[in-house]
Amino acid sequence: MIKNGKDFGSGVFFLAAGLFLAFQSSRLRIWSVIGPVEGFFPLLISGVIVGTSLFIIIKSLVSPKAVSTGEASGKEGQETRRSLRVLWYSLLLMFYGGLLEPLGFLITTPVFLVLTLKVVEHLNWKKTIWIGAASIAISYLLFSRFLGVPLPHGLLKW
């Protein structure tokens, strides 16, 4: 019997999404003689998504929802805001994953970070620009220079 319907529903959604991502990433090469290649990390992340969603589903089946009637109205508003944030993050990550290859790292990543930091996290422009620029620089240096992972060029041929 389902004790927490919202957790169960979100768990099923992310389980389906994780399985879909695992299937898609398994179509890429996962390992070579030199180590992990382009399909390894997407498969790893999809495994984390599947594992986490299974944990949420199991927890929703055994743990009762712990909200008293006096706290319900305040908790509902807070829960709605959290649900919207999760929805925004999910949509933005799906768009980021879908647009990264055709548009490239240098176009997709700043747009994703600005939308995430401004729309979801409600940060001011100064923090958004500093956090975004630092994240892009660190990601570029880490993946492209340190790990030697080629980042998608997309429309810009840099």
Residues 82 and 46 in one domain: no
Asked if 21 and 45 touch (Cβ cutoff 8 Å), the reply is yes
Report the range of poorest mean pLDDT among 26-35, 37-46, 59-68, 85-94: 59-68
> Are 75 and 10 in the same domain?
no
Segments forming the whole domain that contains residue 120: 68-158
Distances (CA, A) of 49 to 18, 74, 83, 100, 124: 5, 30, 17, 20, 30
42 and 85 in a single domain? The answer is no
Tokens of 150: 């080629």
> Of the given ranges (11-15, 76-80, 102-106, 120-124), which has the lowest mean pLDDT?
76-80
Looking at the fold, whether 91 and 156 belong to one and the same domain comes out as yes
**Which pLDDT tens digit goes with each residue over 49-97?**
999 999 999 998 987 655 555 555 566 778 788 888 888 999 999 999 9
Choose among 10, 5, 97, 4: nearest CA to 53: 10
pLDDT tens per residue across span 90-111: 999 999 999 999 999 999 999 9
Q: Within a 10 A sphere around the Cβ of 102, how many other Cβ atoms?
A: 11
- The whole-number pLDDT of residue 132 equals 94
- The pLDDT of residue 71: 54
- In this structure, the answer to whether residues 1 and 44 fall within a common structural domain is yes
Statement: residue 128 has pLDDT above 90: yes
How many structural domains is the chain composed of? 2
Among 51, 66, 81, the domain boundary falls at 66
Q: Quick one: 27 and 103 in the same domain?
A: no
pTM of the model: 0.54
My answer on whether 55 and 76 are in the same domain is no
Looking at the structure, do residues 80 and 51 belong to the same domain, yes or no?
no
User: Of 11, 45, 66, which marks where a domain is finished?
Assistant: 66
